[in-house]
């Protein structure tokens, strides 16, 4: 039998996608396990979930390091210790440097709340809402050295309705994320992407 894929999840917020991914691994009996949560703030709600799930967590305070690369080296060292095969970004609000990207080349996956290449960047839901377009969506993609420019793996459209508020749209996008990301992860595990 193929060994279990060891994954690290990076998050900055409440951790709803971290939960969706962990639930999918357990409920679908995927050949993977989340062995580490990395957060960039000690107040991230995802830390509470990690405790609940019994998953080791590391909070990296970037301001404690002279450079972003130094902070990422600490992360890389931890991931190597954990024998991590792949990284799942789940609302991690930092741009990774080439150092970390190269260390896990082709094995870092990001979830973005828009239909890339449209609306890249940090405020994509608001950008789409204010642009007056009829739809936006969710993209799962590989991470490269650009900002939201990596190869697209999966996408799903989310309509912007006439009476929408930004909060209603955000809720519908998150609902799609919580299905699309786990489904895509299952496919990538099945294809052996993280063990290549």
Task: Kindly state the average pLDDT of the residues 82-89.
Answer: 98
Q: Tell me the three state secondary structure of residue 9.
A: strand
What value does the mean pLDDT take over residues 120-140? 95
Structure confidence at residue 109 as a pLDDT band (50, 70, 90): very high
17 appears as a binding residue in the annotation: yes
- pLDDT reading at 141 higher than 70: yes
Kindly state which CATH superfamily the domain 5-112+138-157+174-195 is placed in: Formyl transferase, N-terminal domain (3.40.50.170)
Tell me what the mean pLDDT of segment 146-164 comes to.
Answer: 96
**3-state SS class at 113:** coil
pLDDT at 2: 74
User: How many Å apart are CA 111 and CA 188, to the nearest integer?
Assistant: 14
Region 42-58 average pLDDT: 97
pLDDT band for position 28 (cuts 50, 70, 90):
very high
94 is in an annotated binding site: yes
- Which DSSP helix (H) or strand (E) runs through 181? helix 166-190
Catalytic residue among 112, 123, 141, 178: 112
Q: What percentage of the chain carries pLDDT values higher than 70?
A: 99
Q: Kindly list the distances between the CA atom of residue 176 and the CA atoms of 101, 117, 136, 155, 191, in Å, as whole numbers in the listed order.
A: 26, 18, 11, 10, 22
Name every residue whose Cβ is closer than 8 Å to that of residue 119 and which is 6 or more positions away in sequence. 127, 128, 131, 136
**Residues 62 and 41 sit within 8 Å (Cβ to Cβ):** no
The answer on whether 58 is annotated among ligand-binding residues is: no
Per the annotation, does 30 bind a ligand?
A: no
Residue 174: active-site member: no
What is the model's pLDDT at position 196? 83
Gap between the Cα atoms of 94 and 57, Å rounded = 17
- Known binding residue 189? Answer is no
Q: Distance between CA 64 and CA 45 in Å, rounded? A: 21
User: How far apart are alpha carbons 190 and 58 in whole angstroms?
Assistant: 28
- Environment class of 74 (CB within 10 Å of its CB; exposed 0-12, middle 13-18, buried 19+): middle
pLDDT at 1: 60
Structure confidence at residue 3 (pLDDT) = 87
pLDDT bucket at 69, cuts 50 / 70 / 90: very high
Average pLDDT over residues 139-150: 96
Angle at 168 between CA 163 and CA 170, to 5 degrees: 130
User: Do 69 and 103 meet the contact criterion of CB atoms below 8 Å apart?
Assistant: no
């Amino acid at each position: 039998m193929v060994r279990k894929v060891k994954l690290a999840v990076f998050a900055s917020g409440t951790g709803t996608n971290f939960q969706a991914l962990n639930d999918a691994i357990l409920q679908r009996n995927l050949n993977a396990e989340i062995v580490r949560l990395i957060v960039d703030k000690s107040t991230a709600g995802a830390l509470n979930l990690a405790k609940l799930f019994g998953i080791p967590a590391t909070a990296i305070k970037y301001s404690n390091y002279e450079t972003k690369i130094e902070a990422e080296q600490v992360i890389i060292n931890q991931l190597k210790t954990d024998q991590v095969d792949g990284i799942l970004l789940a609302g991690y609000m930092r741009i990774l440097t080439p150092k970390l990207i190269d260390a896990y080349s082709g094995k870092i996956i990001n979830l973005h709340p828009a239909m890339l290449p449209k609306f890249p960047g940090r405020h994509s839901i608001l950008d789409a809402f204010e642009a007056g377009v009829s739809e936006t969506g969710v993209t799962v993609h590989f991470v490269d050295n650009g900002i939201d420019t990596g190869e697209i793996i999966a996408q799903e459209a989310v309509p912007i309705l006439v009476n929408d508020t930004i909060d209603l749209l955000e809720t519908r996008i998150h609902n799609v994320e919580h299905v699309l990301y786990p489904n895509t992860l299952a496919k990538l595990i099945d294809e052996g992407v993280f063990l290549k």
